[in-house]
């Protein structure tokens, strides 16, 4: 996952010089739909595939997740085609039959991939997972870059859509390669179907707990795009989508590195042994991340304009407030594994619901009052920051860790931010 994230991150300055902010608006909307469908289509039975010990039941879960993903993709296609025919939903990509077909292909590939990924995890084929993620990122980059270069100054958003779709299909092809060998295949559907209902009932807890968690997490991340799109221009939506995407990078990197190690250690050695290590991790992230955060927030338009190109300089006032909750999330998004280890998955779900509802609500209310995108993003960021800080406090409380130490860490982060911010403004401002 780290490799694919680095490919996407390093290629961004190149792509943003090929595509205008407005080109990312419709692509961001389609991507939000695809990522949401891909996350929930399996009903989270893809997670159950990994933990089920019986091969026959695991095969049944594989087919259950695959059939569920295919069915939800079909329902989504029916709804979108209905919008196309009746013209009751005015989106250019839906009205255009060509882009709608491409988008539906992306949705289908994303909807059935989790089942294959789950089987891949079950069989321990981690190299295939890495190859899948890298193939998605690399293929997407090649197609989008080629389309942008070929189009010159009039690069269409359709190239972003085509690249993402072909990238997802390429990833699906790599995932499917694991079934070439007989030893790695699940049972055939004809043999496994007798166990599908029983397997679904036995692992219904994943639908009950993991699915709502995923839905509200996706709502927090994806729904703001539709809210912003409904109240602002396409250019503002393109800027906001890229600002959100960039601000999410640190959390993706820390989560990919820390979460697996933390979960394994907490399960093997218990929570008590992790307190010192956790405090050291937080201190390291604060010392390395806060100065960079302060510098970027001090000169957002200049830095982002240099990084993404002059036509993206307007992204500065949008991304600046988002960087605060993004940083707090990067030092906390992997802590959910600590609550998992204590059996308090319910707290993960509750905090996710509160975070999603309140942050989207703040964004929507501010835009509805006509206060503008910048004020709305600031309100959203403030609510997210408070939610993430409350989550860290909750984790420390449930784990029995010293909250005074947490307070000192947060105070040191604020102090370091202030010193760096004002020093940077004095030196470079």
Tally of CB atoms within 10 A around 415: 11
- Enter the pTM of the model: 0.89
Q: List all residues 6 or more positions away from 160 whose beta carbon is below 8 Å from its beta carbon.
A: 19, 23, 24, 27, 144, 147
Q: Give residue-wise pLDDT tens across range 72-88.
A: 999 999 999 998 877 66
User: Considering all CA atoms of the chain, what is the largest pairwise distance in Å, rounded to the nearest integer?
Assistant: 71
Q: What is the pLDDT of residue 115?
A: 95
Which residue bears the tokens 């809210």? 227
Q: List all residues 6 or more positions away from 43 whose beta carbon is below 8 Å from its beta carbon.
A: 64, 65, 68, 206, 207, 211
Which residue bears the tokens 């469908």? 37
Query: Mean pLDDT for each 10-residue chunk of the chain (429 residues)?
Result: 76 91 93 95 93 92 97 95 76 84 96 94 86 94 93 82 97 88 83 93 91 90 93 94 91 75 59 80 94 94 90 93 96 80 78 94 97 97 97 91 94 96 86
Q: Give residue-wise pLDDT tens across range 329-353.
A: 999 988 877 776 667 778 888 999 9
Q: What is the pLDDT of residue 374?
A: 96
């Amino acid at each position: 996952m780290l490799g694919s994230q680095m490919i996407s991150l390093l290629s961004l300055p190149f792509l943003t010089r090929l595509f205008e902010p407005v080109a990312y608006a419709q692509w961001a909307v389609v991507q939000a739909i695809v990522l949401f469908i891909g996350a929930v289509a399996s009903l989270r039975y893809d997670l159950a595939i990994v933990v089920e010990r019986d091969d026959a039941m695991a095969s049944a879960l594989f087919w259950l997740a695959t059939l569920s993903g295919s069915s939800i993709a079909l329902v989504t296609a029916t709804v979108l085609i209905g919008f196309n025919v009746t013209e009751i939903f005015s989106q250019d990509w839906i009205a255009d039959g060509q882009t709608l077909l491409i988008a539906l292909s992306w949705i289908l590939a994303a909807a059935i991939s989790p089942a294959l990924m789950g089987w891949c995890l079950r069989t321990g084929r981690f190299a295939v997972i890495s190859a899948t993620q890298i193939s998605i990122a690399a293929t997407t980059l090649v197609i989008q870059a080629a389309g942008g270069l070929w189009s010159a100054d009039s690069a269409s958003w359709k190239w972003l859509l085509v690249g993402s779709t072909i990238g997802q299909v390429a990833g699906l092809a790599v995932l499917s390669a694991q079934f070439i060998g007989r030893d790695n295949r699940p049972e055939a559907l004809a043999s496994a179907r007798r166990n599908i209902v029983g397997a679904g009932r036995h692992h219904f807890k994943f639908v009950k707990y993991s699915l709502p968690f995923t839905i509200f997490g996706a709502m927090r991340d994806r729904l703001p795009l539709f809210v912003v799109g409904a109240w602002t221009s396409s250019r503002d939506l393109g800027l906001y989508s890229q600002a959100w995407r960039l601000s999410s990078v640190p959390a993706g990197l820390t989560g990919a590195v820390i979460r697996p190690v933390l979960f394994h250690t907490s399960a093997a050695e218990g929570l008590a042994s992790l307190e010192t290590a956790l405090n050291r991790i937080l201190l390291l992230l604060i010392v390395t991340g806060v100065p960079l955060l302060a510098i970027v927030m001090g000169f957002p338009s200049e830095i982002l304009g240099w990084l993404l190109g002059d036509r993206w300089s307007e992204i500065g006032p949008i991304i600046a407030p988002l960087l605060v909750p993004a940083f707090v999330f990067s030092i906390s998004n992997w802590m959910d594994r600590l609550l998992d280890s204590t059996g308090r998955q319910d707290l993960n779900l509750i905090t996710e619901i509160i975070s999603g509802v309140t942050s989207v609500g703040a964004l929507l209310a501010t835009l509805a009052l006509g206060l503008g995108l910048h004020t709305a993003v600031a309100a959203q960021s403030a609510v997210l920051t408070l939610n993430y800080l409350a989550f860290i406090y909750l984790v420390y409380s449930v784990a029995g860790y010293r909250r005074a130490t947490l307070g000192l860490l947060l105070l040191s982060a604020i102090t370091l931010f202030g010193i760096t911010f004002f020093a940077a403004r004095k030196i470079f401002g």
